[in-house]
Structure 1
Amino acid sequence: MSQKKRYHIHISLVRNENLYLENALEYALSTDYFLTWDLLATNTNFVEYSRQQIDQCDYMIFILGNDYGHLSLSGVSYLHLSYIYASSKRVPMIALVNTQLNQNELLRQRLDLFNLVIKEQGLRVIHFGQTHDGVSECVRMLGEIKEKFPRLGWVKDTRSLSTLPAAASGDLKSMFVSDRFHIRNGVQPALTDSSLEGTQQSPEAEARPTQVTPKELNEALLVNYTAHAFEGGNLQEISATYTFSWGNIVQTLQALPQPFTSNMMLTQINDSLKDAAMAEALKISPNIHAVSRCQISSIDYQWIKSQLVKKRWLSSVKEGRSIRELWQINIIVQA
């Protein structure tokens, strides 16, 4: 079985300031890393979400462009606050900073943040001026930072999701056993007595995975999605459909560290559409060389999520007094 270790990288930035850089990073890193991104700063949950991801990530990429970011009530930008929080937590970090700017047009606060990042990150600062500058250097530097600050990460099954093993295969049952979780960053998986203490669900209920037949997993479902396709220096959005099986969906979500957030679930499903999106893009033009920003229809995603819950394949998990919404796949395939 082909397996590949992945690491969680949180990217802190002013969203949509430089879409080409965001797309280039996603294209360059998503194969080897699980990426999360700061929310739009206008979201009321920005600070809470950013800190959650910083606490959970293995490594962080901090991007400082021209924009200082949306100001908090204190007058300090949310981007600045995220950097201070990550720095206080000593999260291994790479910083990309834009240096080709008109200094006279910049806020004093942005210059202060720039100087702070340069001072604290030192050799882990990458200077960029053009849209894609620094991406290859970022990939190289991540290789170095993984050696200097090793993390356990987790193993993602890289088998193709296009087909499932036949029902007679001896691997089918083990492929979907719900306790097939990997220990990450020294923390035990969610299904332990201590982690279930204070939750709404009893340990006895959690210990009973839902039994599923291979026939149920092979049932097909059609989804709509969009993606960005690149041809030369041009970008175009494509819309297409793709047929999953329920087994594809389950296997995709089991590759995540358990339990996982709704955002991680959505990102994982979007990532699984990349090969299909590339195939669709090449039908439009054989010169298209990359796709990114694959996004399943929000309606289809919510329907899939609701069906997984209805089937009792997807279970809600509580972490003590945490208010976060967490999920885990909890099934076992009948022989």
Structure 2
Amino acid sequence: MEKRYQVFVSSTFVDLQEARGKVIQTLMEMDCIPAGMELFPAMDEEQMQFIKRIIDDCDYYLLILGGRYGSVSAEGISFTEMEYDYAIERGLKVLAFVHEKPEDIPAKFTDSDPALKARLGAFREKVKTGRLVRGWNDLKELPGLVSLSLNKTIKTYPAIGWVRADQITSTEAVREQNELLKELEALRKELQRSKTTSVPKVEGLAGLDEQFPVTLTDYAGMDAKRYQRSLTWRQIFVQIAPDLQVAQNDSSMRGAIGQALLSYIGVKTPYHGTVDNEDYKTLRTQFAALGLIGLVVNGEGEAQTLFWELTPEGAALMLQGRTVKSSTNGE
């Protein structure tokens, strides 16, 4: 039976209308079913509830980010970001296409409000953290990028999809097919969990309160400032642990650690922090050996990605070091 996959296309509307058209055409040529907000370019909270039901029926979620944050809800969150958050919450596989040079986008297609620009920047960083994204600069690139990415995603993470009713012999056959697909997905997730790298017990590990010299760099344009500080393993871990409450891509952790530690040692508003590469490898290995993080391999072949996950021991240490204690001493 030939299946068709439903793909939700999310983006701001007016500035990316042409981009959406090209992506939707690509999806249709791939025999996919595009879904999105063409009928509701001006969103509100009531329509958002309807959109959630559409996302519930989709197999994959595709996000296009340009130069605008988009119209916002009463809470100040754009409807595009709300769609993204809901897709993540539902566990859909996300394909994100982020404009690499938003500063080159014509002014009429960008936000003039500094607050919206800041929110767009934060949204871009959120999307790029913990998952592979594709950069684009020209509309001509999008169809090819979408086709390659979606084909690979479908092969790696096959979804339930839709089948014509006349291709199903009975309701029972549909039920059996869905159950088999659920079992397949459960087995795939179990296999993924089994790929967590196991770290053998190491004798003589440095204790949490022993110090380690860390070299940090803050890049600000052509100006790079280097700092070296001796911090305890506990101090380092407690600073970075809150970001690990959601699994983080290994490629993003070096910068995240640099930013966190530069702030911790008193560098005001670090521009782009990073930790020395060899120090970073040592930190990753030490925290894994201490049982504070798990290292998980996600994907297959060239698409393999390493993620950091907080272990129960790491979560306990984080809560101990980053929670606010009562000043009343129980009185």
Give the TM-score range, shorter chain.
Answer: 0.3 to 0.5
Q: Which has the higher contact order (CA 8 A, sep 6+)?
A: 1
TM score, norm. by length of structure 1: 0.44
Which of the two has greater strand per residue? 1
Q: Which of 1 and 2 has greater Rg? A: 2
